[in-house]
Chains A and B, each alone.
Chain A
Amino acid sequence: MSLADVASTHGLKRVGARPPLGSYLREAWRRREFIVALAQYRLRASLEGNRLGVLWLVLQPTLNALIYGTIFYFIQRGDDPVQFAAHVVIGVFLFQFFQRSMTQGARSITGNQSLVQSLAFPRITLPVAEVMEELISLLPSIAVLFVILPFLGHWPSLSWLLMVPLLILFTLFNTGIALITARLTVHVRDLAQLLPFIGRLLFYSSGVLFDVNKIFDRYPAVLQLYDFVPIYQVLQMARAALLGGHSYDPMYWLYFSAWSVLTFVVGLLFFWVAEERYGRD
């Protein structure tokens, strides 16, 4: 009897073989507490060295909002600078969630090489934990927004509740992106160097700072294109929900839901296919 026969008669499986998708996801779900703990603790560890510690989770977005708000209050001289400042601050906060998910997700496997090499667990937990960490640090930003907005004349309204489904979809979208960049970086490390630039490019082209409708009002074809840019859709929907007065095509909800689910599923499959590859040099 050959050794391979011995193995198969005793139900031994080849080590390192990729598990089927179903049991892979079940195992990942079983590790959900690990994902949350990893995200929380990493965030805490990154702040704990500071005197003010976790308070920075609130201080950072507040300072960001003050700086962006003040600068863009003065830059935009035309109509209603206060509105414009609020518009920019919402854009910056939400875009940061996307950008950091993308760049941190990219490092989630390559930056945790020793962890991946020593323990057996579904690797998907690592990029998901990165996105979770970014989500946890986004929530205080949103809370800061809720405090600031009434001072700018936007009283709490029912439409603020739309932020909940929007953030769920956005998290799904960002997870898909993080899964894709996580695997790509395993194949091509250089991507981690390139991603910050891609992030900046998207920052300036997704309508974070400038109102796309004003800049491109002479090019309606370009404006139509923007209807299909997922990050632009998120920003517009969030601004409409929080500030009111912004008009957007209600179809954005449908488009962005489709984008989110599609990105997530593609990212999931793309990441899972290479599961055996992670941790190997």
Chain B
Amino acid sequence: MTERKPVVVVDDLYVTYRVFSSGRAVKKSRGGLLKQSGRGIRAVEALRGVSFIAYENESIGVIGANGSGKSTLMRAMTGLTPPAAGAVYASSRPNLLGVGAALIGDLSGERNIVLGGLALGLTRKEVEELSEKIVDFAELQEFIDLPMRTYSSGMQARLKFAIATIKQHEILIVDEALSVGDKEFRRRSENRIREIRDNAGTVFLVSHSMNSIRDTCERTIWLNRGEMMMDGPTEEVVAAYEASRSEGVGARRNRRAAAREQA
């Protein structure tokens, strides 16, 4: 293999959430419930020893069931969730595709483009030059002078995606952003992600849509209960993941059938 430049190194990462349990935990053993009282601190291990290296020009899909630690891993990669052990190293701070938080609903789309672009670290001049491109991508030409709060949720999502991806990110994390918008917009946003990757960027795509993952990522990471199940070419990993899901469904169905027979 040719020498590729690593941009993100995740080294034996553990993330533990300490939460005040506001109710009583459901215990497996019956009868212990009465002994519990008051607010206890529970430690939830969201990630348990995840390691991988991501290289330049890679787009990596991240899949797994709900609660498997996908979003925790992404948040730990941006440095927002502190690791309990291990570390994340990166050539520059990974960005979540989340410019939406900087925007103000009462302002026009036009002003929000300026604000979002500046929040991403562009200069005002750069934003003004790119403004037209953003409007075109979001297909909001006729509405760009209206307050953003009057946009439909699909229009808002398009605008946010268009602003967020206008900058050439070195490391971009897309967490379930492609599920919004219509089919045509999804196709164009997947193209945009491939473009970012081809311009020496690294993209992480978290999605439950195996089609999006197949179409945009050549490598996929499968997380299960905070552990790395598999890391490899998308086709193999997605196939194994889907097999395990349908197997899981099958196994559950069998159990139910067995229980019915017993009754």
Contact = CB atoms under 8 A, between A and B. Distances in A.
Interface size class of B (residues with CB under 8 A): 35 or more
Contacts of A214: none
Interface in A1-40: 2-4, 6-8, 10-17, 30-31, 33-34, 37-38
Contact of A15 (B94, B96, B98): B94
The dominant DSSP class at the B interface is: mixed
Contacts of B91: 10-13
A35 B52 CA distance: 37
Given A12-B91, A37-B114, A121-B121, A3 B104 contact: no
Contact of B115 (A41, A49, A120, A276): A41
A12 B90 contact: yes
Nearest to A46: B106
Contacts of A31: 118, 121
Nearest to B173: A118
A267 B147 CA distance: 36
B82 interface: yes
B125 to A, nearest CB: 9
Contacts, number: 121
A117 interface: yes
B100 interface: yes
Contacts of A4: 9, 11, 87, 89
B165 interface: no
A118 B7 CA distance: 20
A198 to B, nearest CB: 29
A210 B88 CA distance: 58
A33 to B, nearest CB: 5
Interface stretch (B31-39, B73-81, B130-138, B245-253): B73-81
Contact of A118 (B96, B107, B121): B96
B181 interface: no
A25 to B, nearest CB: 15
B120 interface: yes
B104 A120 contact: no
Contact of A7 (B89, B107, B114): B89
Contacts of B10: 3
B85 to A, nearest CB: 13
B188 interface: no
B101 A280 contact: no
A113 B176 CA distance: 20
A275 to B, nearest CB: 10
Nearest to B95: A120
A276 B79 contact: yes
A121 B119 contact: yes
Contact of B9 (A3, A45, A46, A49): A3
A111 to B, nearest CB: 12
Contact of A3 (B7, B53, B80, B115): B53
Interface of A: 2-4, 6-8, 10-17, 30-31, 33-34, 37-38, 41-42, 44-46, 48-49, 112, 114-115, 117-121, 276, 279-280
Given A3-B10, A33-B118, A119-B120, 20 more contacts: A4-B89, A6-B9, A7-B11, A12-B8, A14-B87, A16-B79, A33-B123, A34-B119, A34-B121, A41-B104, A48-B106, A48-B107, A112-B101, A114-B101, A117-B75, A118-B101, A120-B79, A120-B93, A121-B119, A280-B81
13 contacts: A12-B91, A14-B88, A16-B82, A30-B121, A33-B124, A37-B115, A37-B118, A45-B106, A117-B96, A117-B101, A118-B101, A121-B121, A280-B80
